[in-house]
Homo-oligomer: A and B are copies of this chain.
Amino acid sequence: MTEPTRPMRRQDIRRENEKAILLAAEKVFAEAGFGGATMQLIADLAGLPKANLHYYFATKEELYRSVVQNIFEIWLQAANCFDAARGPVDGISAYIDAKMEISRRHPDGSKVWASEVMHGAPVLQDYMESTLREWTDGRVEIIRRWIEEGKMDPVDPRHLLYMLWATTQHYADFGHQIETLNGGKSLSDRQWREAKENIKRVILTGIGAQPA
């Protein structure tokens, strides 16, 4: 005998279904790319008839756009730790931690984002030219100030940011390669920690920002 639960309101149904669809879509887009993904696959994974996808997201492209925007938001949020910091050691450490956490917890989203950029950002070009550019310019300014204050060596801020993005994203985007070289096993807690510490150590030492 199941206790009768309060019937879901339309809003609830919509929210739950959209969430399930977005989650499934992220996985399928990550594994197959935009062109290789099919609405049928996504529907099956979400446990819904294919026609329902079109009820919630009119077109495949609209669904894809939602997935990409979601991960982009997460990506930007990782910036907060960067801003509050008083120096490169705090700021860059926290940023690497945050980005590595994203690589670990949202590997599919990271791959979709990487794929979007690799193919010329067909749907997020406007974001890149506005939000991302502003974010980047702000961080460049912060790094420049740190250099002026003698808190780190005079390293080109942009190339340093690219380095941070590259090294952290790599663990998501090339996760399969890393797993294969790890004997086919995914990285353990310990190995993730080592990866993070390694990146921090090499980069912080490399820019002359030694931990106190």
Taking Cβ atoms with an 8 Å cutoff, the residues of A that contact B are 30-37, 111, 114-115, 117-121, 125, 128-129, 132-133, 136, 153, 155-156, 158-160, 162-163, 165-167, 169-171, 173-174, 176-178, 180-181, 194-195, 198-199, 201-208
Task: For A32, give its contact among B119, B125, B173, B205 (CB under 8 Å).
Answer: B119
The chain B residue with its CB closest to the CB of A174 is B117
Bound CA span A203–B160, Å: 11
Bound CA span A111–B118, Å: 7
A32 cross-chain contacts in B, Cβ below 8 A: 35, 119
For the complex of A and B, the 4 pairs showing the least CB-CB separation, nearest first, are A35-B36, A206-B206, A35-B35, A166-B170
How far does the Cβ of A173 sit from chain B's closest Cβ, in whole Å? 6
A129 cross-chain contacts in B, Cβ below 8 A: 180
| A and B contact pairs by CB, cutoff 8 A, 10 listed | A30-B118, A115-B118, A117-B177, A121-B176, A159-B195, A160-B202, A162-B170, A167-B167, A202-B207, A206-B206
A180 cross-chain contacts in B, Cβ below 8 A: 121, 125, 128-129, 132-133
Task: For A198, give its contact among B155, B176, B204 (CB under 8 Å).
Answer: B155
Contact between B115 and A198, CB atoms less than 8 A apart: no
A158 cross-chain contacts in B, Cβ below 8 A: 181
How far does the Cβ of A148 sit from chain B's closest Cβ, in whole Å? 18
Contact between A33 and B36, CB atoms less than 8 A apart: yes
A181-B158, A203-B202 as given contacts; A33 in contact with B166, CB under 8 Å: no
The chain B residue with its CB closest to the CB of A204 is B206
